[in-house]
Amino acid sequence: MACIDIDSLAQYERDAKEGRADALYNLGLAYSTGQGVGVDMVAAHKWFNLAAVRGVEAAKNWRNQLATEMSSGQIAEAQKLAREWLNIFKH
């Protein structure tokens, strides 16, 4: 995987707000691997969940893998954040 720089991360965030599934997936990858940001399993799960909702099969696999390494509280927080994000960016 290529290193994600700050500019790429900002672009992914802009594209995610437009509902682009690939950007949601790339944000999940960034947060799950610490590329351009600190590793944040809750954020990664949120982004993979949002990408999975938009049909990205690989995101489902990543989300499920992360869930095996997270507490039920962390998963609940990630799901809550995903719902909040969907309420703000309805694409």
Is residue 2, in this structure, part of any structural domain at all? Answer: no
Give the chain's domain count. 1
pLDDT higher than threshold 60 for residue 2:
no
Is residue 78, in this structure, part of any structural domain at all? Answer: yes
* 62 close to 28: Cβ distance less than 8 angstroms: yes
Encode pLDDT of 68-82 as tens digits: 999 999 999 999 999
What integer pLDDT is reported at residue 8 of this predicted model?
A: 84
Encode pLDDT of 18-72 as tens digits: 989 999 999 999 999 998 899 999 999 999 999 999 999 999 999 999 999 999 9
What integer pLDDT is reported at residue 3 of this predicted model?
A: 64
Is residue 14, in this structure, part of any structural domain at all? Answer: yes
What range defines the domain where residue 81 resides?
A: 10-88
For residue 6, with 0-12 CB atoms within 10 Å meaning exposed, 13-18 middle and 19 or more buried, which class applies?
exposed
Is residue 76, in this structure, part of any structural domain at all? Answer: yes
What integer pLDDT is reported at residue 1 of this predicted model?
A: 47
* 30 close to 36: Cβ distance less than 8 angstroms: yes
Is residue 33, in this structure, part of any structural domain at all? Answer: yes
Is residue 4, in this structure, part of any structural domain at all? Answer: no
